[in-house]
Amino acid sequence: SVLTLALATSAAALATGWGAGTAAAAERLKVGVLKFGTVSWETSVIKAHGLDAAAGVEIEIVELASNDAARIAFQAGEVDTIVSDVLWAARLTAENRPVVYIPFSATEGSIMVAAGSPIRTLADLKGKKIGVAGGALDKGWLLIQGYARQSAGIDLTRDAEPVFGAPPLLQQKLETGELDAALLFWNFAARLEAKGFRELMPFDEAARKFGIEGNVSLLGYVFRAGFAAEHPAALKGLAEASRKAKALLAGSDAEWQRIRPQMRAEDDATFQALRRRFLDGIPKRPVEAEQADARRLYAILAEIGGERLVGPARTLPDGIYWSGLKGGS
């Protein structure tokens, strides 16, 4: 019954030291999402099943037009949280605009080539036209550049022809053969995979070449540190609702069918590829292991990308990961 649920929620709050007052009134939380972005899949599940209310938080979805718009809205205080990059969170913190971070996904992008392409290794990219989503300072592009130098002695910025652009355009140009390869975010890579294109090298494989031990959740919910300090119950509620939504998606075909229209999957192969890659990215590692690998990866990227990428912080600032994650992400 509703009464039983209320009593259980109150008891749980007291047992974990959050206090009865916190459980009594739901914290409001404005979450900025892109309408067709993968975060919207999760927030749709949260709202459909009332997972936010059950966790003592009332999530208000604020739809935003692009990643840039999301960052602007976050910095202006128009939303309380967005999903963004741990490098960006670190940069803000280093610039005295401290934020905290809750891991969302460890799924990253890949270099994709046509099924019959003669390109088999990074060395084969010499002299080739490579599409790069995310710009010259994209973390995947930097890491793959670093590994190409280390493994094949080639500088992809000089020995190949990088072409920067929006992911849908680069995907289209790879499909039409105007590009030899393309480094794309995971959802675009999944769409190409469904059409028979193959992965030359995923980001996480490149990261392992540099000694990273496991998949790192480089995307996460970011909160201003001041907000996090004042509203710990809101962060706790979102983290709990996020975890439960991912568990539902991991175990329910019906849930995927419900959110399928949001995925814009034009056929079953695309739908299955998007689903599999999303599930592969669910954070499962203890937060301590996440942090250790994130520190290693950050140091590598800072060395390759320099201040233009990371700003004044050469190491991952302390306190980025929300303290409420202790023991597991």
3-state SS record for the chain: CHHHHHHHHHHHHHHCCCCHHHHHCCEEEEEEEECCCHHHHHHHHHHHCCHHHHCCEEEEEEEECCHHHHHHHHHCCCCCEEEEEHHHHHHHHHCCCCEEEEEEECCCCEEEECCCCCCCCHHHHCCCEEEECCCCCCHHHHHHHHHHHHHHCCCHHHHCEEEECCHHHHHHHHHCCCCCEEEECHHHHHHHHHCCCEEEEEHHHHHHHCCCCCCCCCEEEEEEHHHHHHCHHHHHHHHHHHHHHHHHHHHCHHHHHHHHHHHCCCCHHHHHHHHHHHHHCCCCCCHHHHHHHHHHHHHHHHHHHCHHHHCCCCCCCCCCECHHHCCCC
Please, what is the Cα angle at 65 between 91 and 247, to 5 degrees? Answer: 75
pLDDT at 202: 93
Instruction: Quote the pLDDT of residue 200.
Output: 96
Q: What is the pLDDT of residues 242-285, one digit of tens each?
A: 999 999 999 999 999 999 999 999 999 999 999 999 999 999 99
Can you tell me the distance from the alpha carbon of 165 to that of 109, in angstroms, rounded to the nearest whole number? Answer: 15
Whether the CA torsion 55, 57, 58, 64 is positive or negative: it is: negative
Residue type, 88: W
Specify the pLDDT at position 22. Answer: 40
Q: What is the pLDDT of residue 329?
A: 52
Pairing of strands 110-113, 181-184: antiparallel
61 DSSP β-pair partners:
31
Q: What is the pLDDT of residues 114-145, one digit of tens each?
A: 999 999 999 999 999 999 998 898 899 999 99
Predicted confidence at residue 167, as pLDDT, reads 93
Strand partners, 220: 84, 103
**Strands 99-105 vs 219-224: parallel, antiparallel or unpaired:** antiparallel
Q: Which residues contact 176 (CB under 8 A, 6 or more apart)?
A: none
pLDDT of residue 45: 98
Largest CA distance in the chain: 68
Q: State which amino acid sits at residue 26.
A: A
Which residues contact residue 74 at a Cβ distance below 8 angstroms, ignoring those fewer than 6 apart? 32, 81, 82, 84, 222
Give the distance, in angstroms, between the CA of residue 151 and the centroid of all CA atoms in the same chain: 27
Q: What is the pLDDT along the chain (329 residues), one digit of tens a residue?
A: 433 333 343 333 333 333 333 445 789 999 999 988 999 999 999 999 999 999 999 999 999 999 899 999 999 999 999 999 999 999 999 999 999 999 999 999 999 999 999 999 999 999 999 999 988 988 999 999 999 999 999 999 999 999 999 999 999 999 999 999 999 999 999 999 999 999 999 999 999 999 899 889 999 999 999 999 999 999 999 999 999 999 999 999 999 999 999 999 999 999 999 999 999 999 999 989 999 999 999 999 989 888 888 888 889 999 999 988 854 45
**Count of CB atoms situated within 10 Å of the CB of 10:** 17
pLDDT at residue number 252: 95
